């Protein structure tokens, strides 16, 4: 079985081909650069770019795998959550193609896609396990009871982890998207330079909150001369990042302990973070659990992860109808 994945939920346009053993045959991704000058994603610009890029990326995907649409058995497409205008481009493209070429179609939750990026590279990763999904729009801690069977343990009450990175980067004048820039600067910084607060949510030990952390960076810099931030960028980034890492790790370790799990998988754009990968690798070695993370290319939005979730659901006999619709707020559970 060959599955074509289609991902257009935000500012990346991607198509991928994978086989039923989850081997990636091609996975081109176009990342929109148009948003940099606005300092954040402009939804209207994003959907217009999706319209421009979807067909060329689809053609490139087939070409680089040396295949035609005749080789494809089914199409897996992101139906949410995401920006509605962007989602609609992928969903309608996939539906049109499925109708014209007579292929099965299946709608995929973008967050399940992120989680499934781990299945592409770690065939030994099988449920049950704990998953931490950390992206620009979401922060979720999940107990994966079985394939496609999730128990939500906690999510963010305000900003997502990636959003916190992007906001702090903007504050520090690092531009957009900021996560990767903060990560880079933090590598040379001292994580103990300043102790930013680690938020806990009352009566909800698995919930996350990042907006207070962002505010505390604002308050910290407010009374200091501008040159202070400029001269201590590495240390401020490292200290901010350490607070994020601590908050994420505390919830994950609690869940591993409470649910007696010995496997933790992380996914999403923020899972590309050097310090998060390094910290969890060290803790896993010390505490004796297995830690899984996707390679860098598969952390940020891509269609191979959507196709992987598609293969898993199609093998269970699932499929969608051509009535499939996009849903901006689609929950994982
Ligand atoms: O998963 P993703 O590509 O898109 C969403 O589904 O939201 O995640 C994008 C997010 C952005 O907030 C970006 O700043 C963040 O992932 N990000 C990082 C790193 N690389 C990307 N955050 C921290 N460290 C990184 N190395
Ligand atoms: Zn994403």
Instruction: Spell out which residues have Cβ within 5 A of ligand 2, the ion.
Output: 135, 301
Ligand 1, pocket residues at CB < 6 Å:
10, 135-137, 162, 165-166, 177-180, 183, 268-270, 272-273, 300-301
Task: Kindly state whether residues 249 and 156 are assigned to the same domain.
Answer: yes
| CA distance to 55, 92, 223, 320, per residue, from 325 (Å) | 20, 8, 50, 10
- Is residue 322 domain-resident? no
- Is residue 233 domain-resident? yes
Task: Kindly state whether residues 242 and 268 are assigned to the same domain.
Answer: yes
Task: Kindly state whether residues 258 and 166 are assigned to the same domain.
Answer: yes
What's the burial of 66, exposed, middle or buried (CB within 10 Å: 0-12/13-18/19+)?
exposed
- Is residue 100 domain-resident? yes
Residue with CA nearest ligand 1 atom 21 = 269
- Is residue 327 domain-resident? no
How much of the chain exceeds pLDDT 90, in percent? Answer: 97
Task: Kindly state whether residues 45 and 168 are assigned to the same domain.
Answer: no
Calpha distance 225→244 (Å, rounded): 25
Q: Which domain holds residue 100?
A: 2-116+298-315
- Is residue 323 domain-resident? no
Residue with CA nearest ligand 1 atom 22 = 179
Task: Kindly state whether residues 280 and 210 are assigned to the same domain.
Answer: yes
- Is residue 326 domain-resident? no
Residue with CA nearest ligand 1 atom 2 = 269
Calpha distance 160→143 (Å, rounded): 19
Task: Kindly state whether residues 148 and 240 are assigned to the same domain.
Answer: yes
Average pLDDT, the chain: 97
> Is the pTM value of this prediction over 0.95?
yes
Task: Kindly state whether residues 195 and 233 are assigned to the same domain.
Answer: yes
58-98 pLDDT, tens per residue? Answer: 999 999 999 999 999 999 999 999 999 999 999 999 999 99
Task: Kindly state whether residues 89 and 142 are assigned to the same domain.
Answer: no
Task: Kindly state whether residues 191 and 281 are assigned to the same domain.
Answer: yes
Ligand 2 centroid from CA 121, angstroms: 18
What's the burial of 223, exposed, middle or buried (CB within 10 Å: 0-12/13-18/19+)?
exposed
Which CATH number characterizes residue 184's domain? Answer: 3.30.420.40
Domains held by the chain: number: 2
Task: Kindly state whether residues 311 and 288 are assigned to the same domain.
Answer: no
101-111 pLDDT, tens per residue? Answer: 999 999 999 99
Task: Kindly state whether residues 283 and 147 are assigned to the same domain.
Answer: yes
- Is residue 331 domain-resident? no
Residue 173 has pLDDT above 90, yes or no: yes
The answer to which of 63-67, 144-148, 221-225, 243-247 has the lowest mean pLDDT is 221-225
**Which of 136, 139, 159 most suits a substitution to test ligand 1, by most atoms within 8 Å of the C-beta?**
136
- Is residue 246 domain-resident? yes
Task: Kindly state whether residues 37 and 103 are assigned to the same domain.
Answer: yes
Q: How many CB atoms lie within 10 A of CB 333?
A: 11
């Amino acid at each position: 079985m060959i599955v074509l994945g289609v991902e257009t939920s935000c500012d990346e346009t991607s198509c991928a081909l994978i086989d039923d053993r989850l081997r990636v045959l091609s996975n081109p991704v176009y990342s929109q650069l148009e948003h940099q000058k606005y300092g954040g994603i402009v939804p209207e610009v994003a959907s217009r770019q999706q319209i421009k890029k979807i067909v060329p990326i689809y053609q490139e995907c087939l070409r680089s795998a040396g295949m035609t649409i005749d080789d494809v058995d089914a199409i897996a497409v992101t139906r949410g959550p995401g920006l509605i205008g962007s989602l609609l481009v992928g969903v309608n493209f996939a539906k049109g193609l499925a109708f014209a070429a007579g292929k099965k179609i299946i709608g995929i939750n973008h967050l399940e896609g992120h989680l499934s990026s781990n299945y592409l590279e770690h065939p030994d990763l099988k449920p049950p396990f704990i998953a931490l999904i950390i992206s620009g729009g979401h922060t979720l801690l999940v107990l994966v009871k079985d394939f496609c069977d999730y128990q939500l343990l906690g999510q963010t009450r305000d900003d997502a982890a990636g959003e916190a990175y992007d906001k702090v980067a903007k504050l520090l004048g690092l531009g957009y998207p900021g996560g990767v820039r903060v990560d880079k600067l933090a590598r040379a910084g001292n994580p103990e330079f300043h102790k930013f607060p680690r938020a806990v949510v009352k009566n909800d030990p698995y919930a996350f909150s990042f907006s207070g952390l962002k505010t505390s960076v604002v308050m910290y810099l407010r009374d200091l001369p501008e040159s202070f931030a400029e001269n201590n960028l590495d240390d401020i980034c490292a200290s901010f990042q350490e607070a994020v890492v601590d908050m994420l790790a505390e919830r994950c370790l609690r869940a591993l302990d409470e649910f007696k799990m010995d496997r933790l998988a992380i996914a999403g754009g923020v899972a590309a973070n050097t310090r998060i990968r390094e910290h969890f690798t060290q803790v896993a070695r010390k505490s004796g659990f297995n830690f899984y993370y996707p390679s860098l290319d598969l952390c940020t939005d891509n269609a191979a992860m959507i196709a992987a979730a598609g293969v898993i659901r199609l093998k269970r006999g699932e499929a969608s109808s051509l009535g499939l619709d996009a849903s901006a707020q689609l929950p994982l559970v």
